[in-house]
Structure 1
Amino acid sequence: SSSIKGFSLKTIFPANPGEPSAYKWQDVDYDVIFTAETHNFPSGVAPFPGAETGSGGRIRDVQGVGRGGLVVAGTAAYCVGNLRIPGYLLPWEPPKNEFSYPDNLASPLEIEIEASNGASDYGNKFGEPLIQGFTRSFGMRLPGGERREWIKPIMFTGGIGQMDVRHREKNPPRKGMLLTKVGGPAYRIGMGGGAASSMVQGENVEELDFNAVQRGDAEMEQKMNRVIRACVEMGDKNPVVSIHDQGAGGNCNVLKELVEPEGARIDIRKVALGDATLSVLEIWGAEYQENNALLLDTENAGLFEELCAREKVPFSFVGEVTGDGRVVVFDSTDGSTPVDLDLKHVLAEMPRKTFEITRNEAVLEPLSLPRSLGIITALERVLKLVSVGSKRFLTNKVDRSVTGLIARQQCCGPLGLTISDVAVIAQSHFGLTGAATAIGEQPIKGLVNPAAMARMSVAEAMTNIIWAELTHIEDIRCSANWMWAAKLPGEGAHIYDAAVAMSDFMSAIGIAIDGGKDSLSMASVDRETGEVVKAPGALVITAYCTTPDITKTVTPDIKRPGASKLIYVGLGGDRHRLGASSLAQVVAQIGDEVPDIEDPAAFKCALEAVQGLIKDGVILSGHDVSDGGLVVTLLEMAFAGNCGIEVDINSGAEAIPTLLAEEAGLVFEVAHEDAELVENALHSKGVKYEEIGTATESRQIKISVNGKLALDEKMEGLRSLWEET
């Protein structure tokens, strides 16, 4: 987890944390925490428990920050192969006999449904709202003959929380401290999960893959969470010296990291077991869930025992810090010593690796649209793409407001449509300060140009988070999560190009990375043909920032049809590149030229101008241009506002590239009486803009390009297509 400085606030705490008591007012300083990770391999083998434990593990990352963190809300996302929904085959999906899928993995459709069920189920049971996300489906044979598809899926999960500033720093281990485990007991599950996740899918034995998947128990995690929360609420008297979540490697990883560099002596038989038949190896290495490790001073052992008894959560004092720099695991039942390691040989500075990478130039062909493809047919296809269409199937099954701290989630407008791209939390129930977070990712564009993909991913995150009032753009920090087949020929160079481009672009606009993780074995082997299928290289940028006023967040739903104007700010330099767009995907191509950001300074100026207008309260609604292009941005604003639009875009280009190119941009609604003020503010910042039309009460979508009518359809009909998949 990473954190940024939050605000001072007044809130209520138990007068005596950890026991029945009245609440009292208290002044505290809270930092904002963010963490993100993936659970790709487990979600491919067993989607429901794989995604469930992905969410649970990420929650423990929040708990494990500093000397204990407070969980607030989560995010989730899924990238899978061709869905091939029975009875609903889409024209761009390859025929069934063209692509085969491994028997040891769930199908893309199963993963999309069951993984999202697992993540939602865990959040619902734990009591964590899921307030943001995305999903993609892609599988295609590229011009050079290579098949690219998410056979090994992406299951991404992020979490936002808070931390008392007094608990920022973990205290170092000292001789005599108690090495403590709290949470669920050990079972024979998750054996070798971390190792299996780092392999090309299909290289392992099928039984070992299944055994490596963990199983979740959200009720147990909530019990453990209440213990940690009670410790945090004690403020200066927090008994936790240091805390670490148990994840990859199980006890053998978490315990040795917690006591580095002092070392510890551990009785393996003190670990709480749910299965008495476990071997020492299994107790030491299984990645069983809902478990954290922490250090306590001996005088706080009784207090911690009382907290655990109150919440009915298992705990055990498994060892003691020795100060000799060794981790010694002994078995008190037979006196044996199965592990005796010098920590400096295990966790000390490791030799730096040298990677030799080669460049493989992609075989690309210009995008060639069918001559018969009109704007209506193109739009019908694009609206059915799962990355563009309604995400109601993901949001309706999960709680998005529990805790009372959610100021903005996915659904907005009178119909509660799932189009809001910025999530906002409050820091307390009694003030207006909070934090905003938003996601950006454009993996298909990386098949053409990895550097442009990285810039567009950052741009999308920025054009999503900008709709919340931020303390300052340069206060934004980002988590960068890489999902790539980086070890395979040519891919190392691609991820390098993307990383350099991301770094340079972020530096140019004044933001930075402060966390993230990678999953660099994103490929699978077709056991029938031996073909290695690489997933599209993906960079997920999650931006987060403090907000001084959660009530000033702007949503995409049009607010005043008949009394407002629509303004478009293009950020792609008057280009209309269709490569790797949603349109390209639905004609089974990727093209050879993708959208990009050529002028970072102009991009930042536009963001600053919009922030100024949000602070002034003159933007009624706003939305970014991304998947599906400008036409989808306009449609979603009308869908959510339950109204029509009448616009004319003077692009100098043809209708299809004007409307369906995915160049970065912003569209916002302003009242007639504020239009001049808004346009003067944009002009003063040097921001190029176009007043493109109005929102109407007629529920008719009328879009012209260069004065020529391109689209004239009932809003409800287009919205039904958007909801169809």
Structure 2
Amino acid sequence: MIVLKGASALSPFRLARFESRLQTTVPELHIVGAWHCYLIQIKSGHTLDMSALHRILQAESVSEPPQEHVVSRYVMPRLGTHSPWSSKTTELLHGAGQPIARIERGTRIDLLGWSANAATCPAIAKQLYDPMTQSLLESEDEVKTLFNVPEPLSLERIALIDLEHANTRWGLALTADEIDYLRTRYTELNRVPSDVELMMFAQANSEHCRHKIFNATWTINDKEQQHSLFQMIKHTHQHTPQYTLSAYADNAAVIEGHPTARYRPDPITGEYRHEAVLPGAFQIKVETHNHPTAIAPFPGASTGAGGEIRDEGATGRGGKPKAGLSGFSVSHLRIPTLPHPWETPRALNPRMASALDIMLEGPLGSAAFNNEFGRPNLLGYFRSFELSASKTLTRAYDKPIMLAGGLGAIDRIHIKKLRLQPGDVIIVLGGPAMLIGLGGGAASSVTSGTSTEALDFASVQRDNPEMQRRCQEVIDHCVALGTNNPIRSFHDVGAGGLSNAIPELLHDSEVGGVIDLAKIPSDDPSLSPLELWCNESQERYVLGISAAHLQAFAAICTRERCPFAAVGVATATEQLIVGYGVTLPAALHVTEQQTPQRANHTETSPTPNTLPPSVREAFAIDLPMDVLFGKAPKMHRNTAHPPPPHWPTLDSTQLDLHHAGLRVLAHPTVAAKNFLVTIGDRSIGGLTAREQMIGPWQLPLADCAITLAGFGTYAGEAFAIGERAPLALLNSAAAARMAVGEAITNLCAAPVESLSMVKLSANWMAAAEHPGEDALLYDAVKAIGIELCPALDISIPVGKDSLSMQSRWQADGATHTCISPVSLVISAFTPVADARRQLTPLLHHQTNSELWLIALDGGKQRLGGSVLAQVHADSAALPTFGGECPDLDTPETLRAFFALMNDARNAGLLLAYHDRSDGGAFAALCEMAFASHLGLDITCDNRTEHLFPHLFNEELGAIVQVADEHRTAFTDLVEQHGLTAYTQRIAHPTTAPSIRIMHNDQCLAQWTWETLFDAWWSVTHAMQRLRDNPECADEEREIARTFTAPGLKPTLSFDPAVDVAMPFIATGIRPTVAILREQGINGHIEMALCFERAGFHCVDIHMNDLITGRVHLDEFVGLAACGGFSYGDVLGAGRGWATSILERTALRDQFAAFFTRTDRFALGVCNGCQMLSQLKSMIPGAEHWPRFVRNRSEQFEARTALLEVIQSPSIFLSGMAGSRLPVAVAHGEGYAMFDTPADQAAAHVALRYINGHGQAATHYPLNPNGSPNGITGLTTTDGRITILMPHPERTPRTINLSWSPNEWGEDTPWLRLFRNARAWVG
């Protein structure tokens, strides 16, 4: 093993923050330094090129001992695990020709002032590492044990009398009925089970996987219930099956979309093409990943997002994930720097991450996976909720809700899976097996805290989105083959690992299977049969394909560098055999060099009848399929409703209006969500039509998200979230109705054509084993499944449940319990015909307009469960949460509201729209004012005693802006729809920087705009200061809170309607451009489209195509290096990609020759920019270019920023100098670091970030990465090669921008960049 020392692991501000945290334990403790250390294991019999290794890793061999009195500690990946960093970097180094077996990275921390008091050492250690994902080691000798491989555990046989002990030992969560069932079945089989079979059965039949409670029969209050929970959900689809193409039959539901033409590379030639317009379809899915996020927030949330993405990809015979949503419900944040009076102290569960840690790390994990995979996250929710019911019982989200969902595109011919035939090959596609997530399906199905800490760790997962990107490229290629798609059927690998996925794949086709454990790819030779079969290593799929297609499928995988293995075959006999002693057809032994012959499966496919007993006894699994999927005991629930809640009611007459407004806006559920939004890419894919951010001042206030069905249409899909879970503590049925209602009022911001076209995903959470909570769950499901949704003609074709939402622990000599409310999160999806007709909360800057409130409560104004009550919970022994519960009393009112919004939109009467939700009308109005940098005069009704209910009730409703000239037309429409009694004028905008509450011309309360904004922004500011660079957090707050800030102010120096490429396009000649990508690149489709629109012929070129000599750069007039995360950016953004060129002599020479030719051009965007900047030594005229390193904020930044085009030689920006344009920005490493000040002065700068006054942006976030003078694009001396960090290729149409001037036409001025290239070629 070789140990190398790398660069500093922590920036100065992170080092200072870390040291400050340590000094709360030992004040005299100081951090002398923190460095990366690399551990490298060499392949046996090989020698490393150490100089190359030092160069690639930017590391050195010297590892000096610590100074006197300094103690070193090493924070390494947890012993026995492989980090995602290791997997990616090992592949990178293999590509660079380095014969390493494995590389890992850790951090060496040198500490001065280590306490001599041994009692404090554990407290210090706790601050240094996360025991769920890391190990803390004391010496380099201990570090070198990281690669030690223990002996694998043997296969175990479990006596039937010992099943209860095994159930406890492995945390199987089997019920007594299930144990009896297993005893009966194994007695019939005349043998005992293996440990592998027991674990497989537990995962496959866990509550998480089989939804036993939702399929149970029920007795409530001694009365037999007519329906199961699932039957009530299915009732909605039975009532309204229209527009649903697949429900309850796959990984996701599929619904009808608008006709569209797909744009993608031809799977044979690689040439990009527009396909024929065909009827559209899209798949929808929403998951939760609550237990893993509670244990290890970053990987838990990351793999939650990844698992849902796989569900979309594995729908039918292959889908393409398009856009995502996310959400979090946690307990009180208790931010140390932002204490709130309602956040009372209490004992916390030591086995679970705190709410603060979950919200600091979990959203980063979810965003990171989406970012690296290449899916925009366009929607979300966040709730912080906690009520103390007694000294030892809390109603809260210590076990959080972590929501991950989205929608994708699917060809209609691929919606239905095909049945596997005997002899079909079983494929595992994706990453290798590791000891990750073992028993996660069962672990997530039990009360948190009742299992052992070791089992908690066993269910922690790890993420590798770059691997999943490669898998998706394989799926995309197969799908593009159309009717020749080799995939017959497949599943993603999630809970239970292969032990759940492969049996499901076989069972769907009513076949059995024979699986060779030796064929399963593994990075851990110590895995026992149980661990190999049941681990939940992520980024894997199982597929069934015909043996005749195996070689073609292998070629696709090889090109994408996507690992795969043919691990077995389907058999006619419905028996599952898994072991090391099976014999598989020779056709399955495929390599890149071998072409398998079609096998005669009639003669060679193994079946249970052809295998001798002596061999079968050694198998890990030898079971009839019906043991897994047969008639296991069905659950019956006998329960009763709990006593009615008696929460005290808030007396609003005793409140101070001024302070109440500030408190409500500062509650995390209401407050600004910027810290959750800007970390996630929202423009990747080029099909975003509405993201969270709105207006010139870019605040995340959109009510819904919208995507486009294709690049040449305005039709698309809209989706929104509804969630009002705390109300379930008052009335679970009302909370469920409110969730559906809120999803609809949010969705009304989009041009929804019909309620029957709206499809819901319902995610149910409850502590089903807490007395009475299951009865409340039943009430909630019945309220929407049997009553509300059928009345609205809305169906629920997909959903998920998580019914162990409680945790238990010991503290202060007592047992403490935290139980969540019965929680329903509704995600609503619908096709839309024209995304341009959307509405947002952005107010038009005209004072001759009014804001109208349509309140669907009919004047009841119920305050029970409101945020107003929650923020005054400190004033009573029990929280003031009670009172009448808001509700959707009549579905007809919601129907009328929906029709009114459509008619008013169609008549052009609405200027802005915002739903009323948490914080009531007061919060909604303030948000509209914040988004628009306007003041408001809010009017109240004639009775001031109704002031607080009027402003702060959270009944369903919406606020719209109507011009004065349209008042009569609007009120006439309101009357036509029978909503006059529900509608009132509530405010009018002003240009004054204040918000006032007015009653009969009397001002009841007044705040400056900045005062309210500061309260609303306070959570984002505090969280950013804890998580990111605190200087950046302060700078953003100062800019955001400035009422007079100009925001985005575009100006043009040219006429974008003039197409400079048109004369050359008219010749019919289309020069060929290489759309270049490396593994992990995800921005190639939109890049190709922009060049194609400018008159080029585009070809998909993977780096493997150049490496293998399939194509040569000489064949192309231009080269476009695309954005993404090549090699996961493990050694720095773009460095892995650049290394793959620089360390291959032939490839390096090929690129150098291309760059030298004066009749060739190149464009590098984002990751392509970072890669090309590291090739500057071979690019003429690029010698002064910078490297691009970590953003100053040390955070991924996704923004719409304002750029100025600088006069430069760039052929791409010819004629555009002086223009100031908004553009999508999405990167983590965009800081332009020049080698010397002279280089910065001499470099040909092409683009820079500017503020709204036209000056170079020096402050965050106007300069999102902190580059000197806002530099973000450069070119060569002759202008042929240009690199830029922003993404003009994602915003060729104005619909793609989160905001643009009304006078701009269909296309943005950025299309000129690509047209200039076509004009230059001539």
Evaluate the alpha carbon distance shift between residue 371 and residue 695 of structure 1 in structure 2; reply closer, same or farther with a 3 A threshold.
Answer: closer
2:571 matches 1:322? yes
Q: CA deviation at 1:144?
A: 9.9
Distance 2:392 2:351 in 1: 25
Distance 1:455 1:649 in 2: 28
Q: For each residue in 1:591-624, what CA deviation from the matched residue of structure 2 results, as whole angstroms up to 9, or x when unmatched?
A: 1321111121122111111022223333111011
> 2:298 touches 2:366 (CA, 8 Å); kept in 1?
yes
2:893 matches 1:590? no
| Paired residue type of 1:675 | R
Q: Which moved more, 1:43-52 or 1:231-240?
A: 231-240
Partner in structure 1 of residue 957 of structure 2: 665
> 1:12 touches 1:26 (CA, 8 Å); kept in 2?
no
2:332 matches 1:82? yes
Q: For each residue in 1:362-418, what CA deviation from the matched residue of structure 2 results, as whole angstroms up to 9, or x when unmatched?
A: 331441337652111111111111110000010111111111111011111221111
Evaluate the alpha carbon distance shift between residue 202 and residue 365 of structure 1 in structure 2; reply closer, same or farther with a 3 A threshold.
Answer: closer
Partner in structure 2 of residue 510 of structure 1: 793
Distance 1:21 1:280 in 2: 45
2:689 matches 1:407? yes
Distance 1:16 1:289 in 2: 27
Q: CA deviation at 1:27?
A: 2.4
| Paired residue type of 1:109 | L
2:815 matches 1:530? yes
| Paired residue type of 1:694 | H
Q: For each residue in 1:55-107, what CA deviation from the matched residue of structure 2 results, as whole angstroms up to 9, or x when unmatched?
A: 00010010111111111111111111111111321000113xxx111221111
2:279 matches 1:40? no
Partner in structure 2 of residue 629 of structure 1: 920
2:721 matches 1:439? yes
Distance 2:655 2:625 in 1: 65
| Paired residue type of 2:359 | E
> 2:267 touches 2:477 (CA, 8 Å); kept in 1?
no
Alpha carbon RMSD of aligned pairs, Å?
A: 1.7
Counterpart among 861, 864, 870 of residue 579 in structure 1: 864
Evaluate the alpha carbon distance shift between residue 703 and residue 371 of structure 1 in structure 2; reply closer, same or farther with a 3 A threshold.
Answer: closer
> 1:422 touches 1:464 (CA, 8 Å); kept in 2?
yes
Distance 1:148 1:22 in 2: 54
Gaps of 5+ in 1: none
Partner in structure 2 of residue 720 of structure 1: 1014
> 2:393 touches 2:816 (CA, 8 Å); kept in 1?
no
> 2:262 touches 2:275 (CA, 8 Å); kept in 1?
yes
2:970 matches 1:678? yes
| Paired residue type of 1:674 | H
Evaluate the alpha carbon distance shift between residue 583 and residue 640 of structure 1 in structure 2; reply closer, same or farther with a 3 A threshold.
Answer: same
Q: Please list, as runs of the form range in 1=range in 2, the aligned pairs for 1:456-467 lying within 5 A after superposition.
A: 456-467=738-749
Q: Please list, as runs of the form range in 1=range in 2, the aligned pairs for 1:240-259 lying within 5 A after superposition.
A: 240-259=487-506
Q: Which moved more, 1:690-699 or 1:78-87?
A: 690-699
| Paired residue type of 1:423 | A
Partner in structure 2 of residue 479 of structure 1: 761
Q: Which moved more, 1:335-344 or 1:296-305?
A: 335-344
Partner in structure 2 of residue 540 of structure 1: 825
Distance 1:160 1:638 in 2: 31
Partner in structure 1 of residue 267 of structure 2: 16
Identity of aligned residues (%): 35
| Paired residue type of 1:575 | K
> 2:266 touches 2:480 (CA, 8 Å); kept in 1?
no
2:253 matches 1:2? yes
> 1:561 touches 1:644 (CA, 8 Å); kept in 2?
no
Evaluate the alpha carbon distance shift between residue 359 and residue 636 of structure 1 in structure 2; reply closer, same or farther with a 3 A threshold.
Answer: same
Q: TM-score, normalised by structure 2?
A: 0.54
Q: Please list, as runs of the form range in 1=range in 2, the aligned pairs for 1:188-207 lying within 5 A after superposition.
A: 188-207=435-454
Distance 2:552 2:280 in 1: 25
Distance 1:113 1:15 in 2: 43
| Paired residue type of 1:52 | S
Partner in structure 2 of residue 490 of structure 1: 772
Q: Which moved more, 1:352-361 or 1:115-124?
A: 352-361
Evaluate the alpha carbon distance shift between residue 687 and residue 177 of structure 1 in structure 2; reply closer, same or farther with a 3 A threshold.
Answer: same
Partner in structure 1 of residue 427 of structure 2: 180
Counterpart among 376, 387, 401 of residue 669 in structure 2: 387
Q: Helix, strand or coil: the match of 1:508?
A: helix
Partner in structure 1 of residue 639 of structure 2: 357
Q: CA deviation at 1:143?
A: 7.1
| Paired residue type of 1:534 | I
Distance 1:633 1:349 in 2: 52
Partner in structure 2 of residue 268 of structure 1: 517
Q: Helix, strand or coil: the match of 1:590?
A: coil
> 2:425 touches 2:544 (CA, 8 Å); kept in 1?
yes
Evaluate the alpha carbon distance shift between residue 365 and residue 320 of structure 1 in structure 2; reply closer, same or farther with a 3 A threshold.
Answer: closer
2:593 matches 1:310? no
Q: Please list, as runs of the form range in 1=range in 2, the aligned pairs for 1:205-220 lying within 5 A after superposition.
A: 205-220=452-467
Q: CA deviation at 1:533?
A: 1.5
2:356 matches 1:109? yes
Q: Helix, strand or coil: the match of 1:526?
A: strand
Q: CA deviation at 1:490?
A: 1.0
Counterpart among 270, 295, 306 of residue 544 in structure 2: 295
Evaluate the alpha carbon distance shift between residue 340 and residue 615 of structure 1 in structure 2; reply closer, same or farther with a 3 A threshold.
Answer: farther
Which structure 1 residue ranges, 4+ long, deviate > 4 Å from structure 2? 705-708
Gaps of 5+ in 2: 1-251, 583-613, 874-879, 1020-1322
Partner in structure 2 of residue 691 of structure 1: 985
Evaluate the alpha carbon distance shift between residue 705 and residue 222 of structure 1 in structure 2; reply closer, same or farther with a 3 A threshold.
Answer: farther
Evaluate the alpha carbon distance shift between residue 282 and residue 684 of structure 1 in structure 2; reply closer, same or farther with a 3 A threshold.
Answer: same
Partner in structure 2 of residue 416 of structure 1: 698
> 1:573 touches 1:598 (CA, 8 Å); kept in 2?
no
| Paired residue type of 1:685 | H
| Paired residue type of 1:55 | A
> 1:56 touches 1:218 (CA, 8 Å); kept in 2?
yes
Q: CA deviation at 1:361?
A: 1.1
Q: For each residue in 1:114-160, what CA deviation from the matched residue of structure 2 results, as whole angstroms up to 9, or x when unmatched?
A: 00111111111111111111111122213797421211111111111
Q: CA deviation at 1:531?
A: 2.2
Evaluate the alpha carbon distance shift between residue 712 and residue 330 of structure 1 in structure 2; reply closer, same or farther with a 3 A threshold.
Answer: same
Distance 2:626 2:883 in 1: 50
| Paired residue type of 1:44 | A
Partner in structure 2 of residue 374 of structure 1: 656
Q: For each residue in 1:203-233, what CA deviation from the matched residue of structure 2 results, as whole angstroms up to 9, or x when unmatched?
A: 0111210121110001001010110111111
Evaluate the alpha carbon distance shift between residue 297 and residue 507 of structure 1 in structure 2; reply closer, same or farther with a 3 A threshold.
Answer: same
Q: For each residue in 1:331-371, what CA deviation from the matched residue of structure 2 results, as whole angstroms up to 9, or x when unmatched?
A: 13995311011112321354532110122113314413376
Q: TM-score, normalised by structure 1?
A: 0.97
Evaluate the alpha carbon distance shift between residue 440 and residue 651 of structure 1 in structure 2; reply closer, same or farther with a 3 A threshold.
Answer: farther
| Paired residue type of 1:244 | H
Q: Helix, strand or coil: the match of 2:955?
A: coil
Distance 2:623 2:910 in 1: 61
Evaluate the alpha carbon distance shift between residue 705 and residue 629 of structure 1 in structure 2; reply closer, same or farther with a 3 A threshold.
Answer: farther
Q: CA deviation at 1:276?
A: 1.6
Counterpart among 35, 50, 53 of residue 300 in structure 2: 50
Distance 1:106 1:267 in 2: 39
Distance 2:755 2:389 in 1: 38
Q: For each residue in 1:8-38, what CA deviation from the matched residue of structure 2 results, as whole angstroms up to 9, or x when unmatched?
A: 1124232335x63343443233312110111
Distance 2:292 2:534 in 1: 17
Q: CA deviation at 1:692?
A: 2.9
Counterpart among 510, 513, 519 of residue 802 in structure 2: 519
Evaluate the alpha carbon distance shift between residue 488 and residue 143 of structure 1 in structure 2; reply closer, same or farther with a 3 A threshold.
Answer: closer
| Paired residue type of 2:996 | K
Q: CA deviation at 1:456?
A: 0.8
**Using CA pairs below 8 Å that are at least 6 residues apart, which structure has the higher relative contact order?**
1
Distance 1:457 1:130 in 2: 21
> 2:658 touches 2:1006 (CA, 8 Å); kept in 1?
no
Distance 1:12 1:665 in 2: 40
> 1:473 touches 1:608 (CA, 8 Å); kept in 2?
no
Evaluate the alpha carbon distance shift between residue 606 and residue 644 of structure 1 in structure 2; reply closer, same or farther with a 3 A threshold.
Answer: same
